[in-house]
Amino acid sequence: MTSEEPTLNSSQIADIAKRLGRPLVLVGLMGVGKSTVGKRLASALLRDFADADEEIEEAAQRSVSEIFEEFGEAYFRDGERRVIARLVEDGTGVIATGGGAFVDPETRSLILDRAVAVWIDAELETLVERTGRRDTRPLLRNGDPAEILGRLMEDRKPFYSQAQIRVVSGDGPHMRTVDAILKELDAWL
């Protein structure tokens, strides 16, 4: 078996999907792999996938960075909450959220009440390396990324820790994280 194959077999994964009955919403800091892991998790569960940031950009016809710059974070969070509510209502199978979505009390309450929140966590060094690959993170543009991510990690931990499930994403293949989520989900259900 390679590290890109789940350790659960297809009938075990199908059983998890059958018992799930509501969307999975991936939360955590930027760079933990919510979008990449989310696509693979949705594929394993035979569910659809949506990236909330992409949905916001499509609806606004602007990038997340442009929305932040032009209208501010409060405006962005309001739109983000509406998009996530629509995705949950539509029954989207796996939803990747932006790093700050779960910090918003209304968005967090919506997710905890109507979906299963999965906190994907990672070491600070991993996040710095991953987020440094592209310059698309508005919150990292005005300072030292390691310092900013470290502060965000501490500030957001009390919110992320309210998720029903927590897994740690490491340097290895994303399928390890998918596998960890499936095992934790199986135990939680």
Query: What is the per-residue pLDDT across 152-175, written as a single tens digit (0 to 9) for each?
Result: 999 999 999 999 999 999 877 889
Q: What is the chain's mean pLDDT, rounded?
A: 90
Distance CA 58, CA 78 (A): 15
Domain boundaries, the chain: 10-188
Helix (H) or strand (E) holding 159: helix 145-160
Task: Give percent of the chain above pLDDT 90.
Answer: 69
Percentages helix, strand, coil for the chain (3-state, rounded to 5) are 60, 10, 30
Q: Quick one: average pLDDT of 85-99?
A: 94
pTM of the entire structure? 0.90
Distance CA 12, CA 10 (A): 5
Distance CA 185, CA 166 (A): 10
Distance CA 184, CA 118 (A): 9
Which residue from 128, 126, 148, 151 is spatially nearest to 139, judged by alpha carbons?
148
Distance CA 7, CA 176 (A): 9
Copy the structure tokens of residue 159: 């919110």
Q: Which CATH class is domain 10-188?
A: alpha beta
Greater pLDDT, 109 or 132: 109
Collapsing DSSP to helix, strand or coil, 165 comes out as strand
Instruction: Give 11-66 pLDDT, tens digit per residue.
Output: 999 999 999 999 999 999 988 999 999 999 999 999 999 999 999 999 899 998 89
